[in-house]
Amino acid sequence: MIEPKSEEQARAAAETPAAASYYERHIFFCLNERKGDEDCCARHGAQEAFDRCKLQIKAAGLSGPGKVRVNKAGCLDRCAAGPVAVVYPEAVWYSYVDNQDIDEIVASHLINGKVVERLLVPAGQGR
């Protein structure tokens, strides 16, 4: 579980040579929006999901160095599973449909490190 740290503690932890990663976890949401009829994550609530995730992480005091970063991304090239998000360093890909899914990704994976199996993108599902 990620414990909330002070900004100073988090920065010190992130700056030590032993730190494996600047952030403990990093989630990227595809927010890609296509013109015309082509489908994209933006048409399936990606912005709202990103906003919800970011607010929850901030409210939990878990945003910042040594903790969790929530980032926007362009097309992640797994559009057929969209809307998608990917969590590093585990490289776990999620497909979500509603607020409940986002809440579960935050509570289970981003805060407690437990992968949400039911939301995993099937291996090999790409564009």
| DSSP states along 19-75 | -S-SSSEEEEEE----STT---GGGGTHHHHHHHHHHHHHHTT-BSTTSEEEEEES-
Q: Cα 18 vs. chain centroid, distance in angstroms?
A: 24
Q: Does 87 bind ligand FES (CB under 6 A)?
A: no
- Work out how close the CB of 11 gets to ligand FES at its nearest, in angstroms, rounded to a whole number: 33
Question: Using CB under 6 A as the criterion, what x/- string covers residues 24-63 for binding ligand FES?
Answer: ------x-x-------xx----------------------
Nearer to ligand FES, 41 or 111 (CB): 41
Nearer to ligand FES, 10 or 31 (CB): 31
Q: Does 121 bind ligand FES (CB under 6 A)?
A: no
Q: What is the DSSP letter of 122?
A: P
Is there a contact between 92 and 80 (Cβ–Cβ < 8 Å)? no
User: For strand 25-30 and strand 84-88, is the pairing parallel, antiparallel, or unpaired?
Assistant: antiparallel
Nearer to ligand FES, 64 or 83 (CB): 83
Q: Does 75 bind ligand FES (CB under 6 A)?
A: yes
Amino acid type, 114: K
Instruction: Using CB under 6 A, list all residues that contact ligand FES.
Output: 30, 32, 40-41, 75-79, 82, 84
